Amino acid sequence: MPDLPADAELARLRASIDNIDAALVHLLAERFKHTQQVGVLKARTGLPPADPDREAEQVTRLRTLADQAGLDPEFAEKFLTFLVAEVIRHHTRLRREADGRQASEQPS
């Protein structure tokens, strides 16, 4: 590609970043739909919101994928931690809501 003036080059890069961000937002929406279902399942079956073994597996896998894709594995791990914190916040809320429903169904 011929050298573009700096402002045109910046606009070109930002347009691609905006496209990637739109894709990321849609994938994150899809991810939370799935983790929401996990949360409902965990609340219904009494499984705890956090699962350290599963999280350890995810960290190992994502670090490997990041490395292969040219992404800093440290950043990939930080990203997963960021997502998992949000997911556990959701699961804990679902659990409290499920406990609340059970308590209100007890004879007083």
> What residue ranges bind its own copies (CB under 8 A)?
6, 9-10, 13-14, 16-18, 20-35, 37-38, 41-42, 44-45, 47, 54, 58, 61-62, 65-66, 69-72, 75-76, 78-80, 82, 86
- Contact (Cβ atoms closer than 8 angstroms) between residue 90 and residue 32: yes
| Closest distance to its own copies from the beta carbon of 108 (Å) | 30
Whether residue 73 contacts residue 31, with contact meaning beta carbons closer than 8 Å, is answered with no
Q: What is the CA radius of gyration of the chain?
A: 20
Pick from 31, 13, 73: nearest CA to 39: 31
Q: Shortest Cβ distance from residue 66 to its own copies (Å)?
A: 5
CB-wise, 6 or 108, nearer to its own copies?
6
